[in-house]
Amino acid sequence: MGGTFDPIHFGHLRLAEELAETLALTQVRFIPAGQPAHRIPPRASATHRLEMVRRAIAGNSRFTLDEREIHRHAPSYSVDTLISLRAELPADTPLILFMGADAFMGLASWHRWETLLSLAHLAVAWRPGFPAADIEKHCPAALSDVLIRHRCIESALLQQTPAGCVFLHPITQLDISASQIRAAARHGRSVRYLVPDPVLDYLNENCLYD
């Protein structure tokens, strides 16, 4: 699961937990972006974002922190991360890239996006405002074709092959965003219960978004 995690919040964590449970995964890697290619630079430094993720996932034995994109001296592209993971793992290991429906709708703008399904499955979580019917009805033509050719309904199929499926799944509707949290912190409003307490403590200790 990639992202800037600026900061990581309960929306990220719940998405990862519910998809991991549904897909019976043994591990979820949180991979903070170093130099995001599709958005403005993060407000918090790489060091701070790594530490927030580390604190947020502590205590969940299935969650782990992967620092590879932070240490890459180039823009963070998911395709490059998946290629590096593939090089480390047995060829038949299933890899699943988690994303929200909003990210999937913009997938055609990603670097070498057509290569992603040769490297991994895509698990797309329905988030507030993006029901499955809207994904199918309103996605760009290129992605509509991807859904026709690659969508799978049975989650077990993602464990039987290393890559190539698109799996759509509803998750708990937590309408939380990192930009909302940053804005609240900047204006002196509470962000408690939007982020885990260890992350909240870290934000306050370091005055990250004041």
Query: Buried b / exposed e across 148-159, counting CB within 10 Å, b at 16+?
Result: eeeeeeeeeebe
Nearest to 171 by CA among 28, 22, 26: 22
* Mean pLDDT along residues 175-179: 93
* Mean pLDDT along residues 179-189: 96
Distance CA 204, CA 202 (A): 5
* Mean pLDDT along residues 158-187: 94
Question: Is residue 69 a contact partner of residue 32, using CB atoms and an 8 Å limit?
Answer: yes
Distance CA 161, CA 140 (A): 26
Residues paired with 208 in a beta bridge: none
Confidence (pTM): 0.92
List, for residues 39-73, the tens digit of each pLDDT value.
788 999 999 999 999 999 999 999 999 999 999 88
List, for residues 91-114, the tens digit of each pLDDT value.
999 999 999 988 898 999 999 999
Distance CA 195, CA 49 (A): 13
List, for residues 1-31, the tens digit of each pLDDT value.
999 999 999 999 999 999 999 999 999 999 9
- Judge whether residue 173 has pLDDT over 70: yes
- Judge whether residue 75 has pLDDT over 90: no
Domains of the chain: residue spans and CATH: 2-206 (3.40.50.620)
* The dihedral sign for the CA sequence 8, 195, 122, 125: negative
